[in-house]
Amino acid sequence: MLSTLYVDMNSYFASVEQQSRPELRGRPVAVVPVETDSTSCIAASYEAKAFGVRTGTNVGEARRMCPGLVLVKGRPDLYVRTHHAVIEAIDRVLPVAGVHSIDEFSCRLLGAERERARAETSAPRPGGSGCASASARASRAPWAWRPTASSPGSRRTCASPTA
């Protein structure tokens, strides 16, 4: 029996930027602390990752790797507000047992959700109902659904971004 659903929102800062600015959707995006070639990317969208841009990639190198890369200056307040909105939305469906970082949560599974087969087929996914396996969803979604058998941790919230 499963006891915990682990939610890890990959490419979080870049995904939040794409969500808040529709013109960035489908485009390679890198979030940066300042707009200069001498700094590093603090997040990269899936589209940028396809060109090899990763967290920590030097901006000058990222521009060479990914023509058309859109640089977005980080907005920590937006990421924190979104973090709290996500916690609230998840907590309406499952009790949030622990907040591990700005983009990672664990939820306590209740009743039938504790059965592995149900957990793998009923977790929500972007753009549709849950019908793929958890590992298939995790490989293509901006967040990963990872049911685990671990016990829930203590609940806390993030005051500032840490991922």
Bin 52: left if φ > 0, else alpha if -120 < ψ < 50, else beta: left
Using alpha carbons, select from 26, 15, 130 the residue that is nearest to residue 75.
Answer: 15
Q: What are the catalytic residues? A: 104
Closest CA to 38 of 71, 70, 61: 61
DSSP β-ladder status, 104-108 and 4-8? antiparallel
Helical axes 12-20 vs 76-91, angle rounded to 10°: 90
Measured on CA atoms in the order 1, 86, 76, 99, is the torsion positive or negative? negative
> What is the tally of helices (H) and strands (E) in the chain?
6, 7
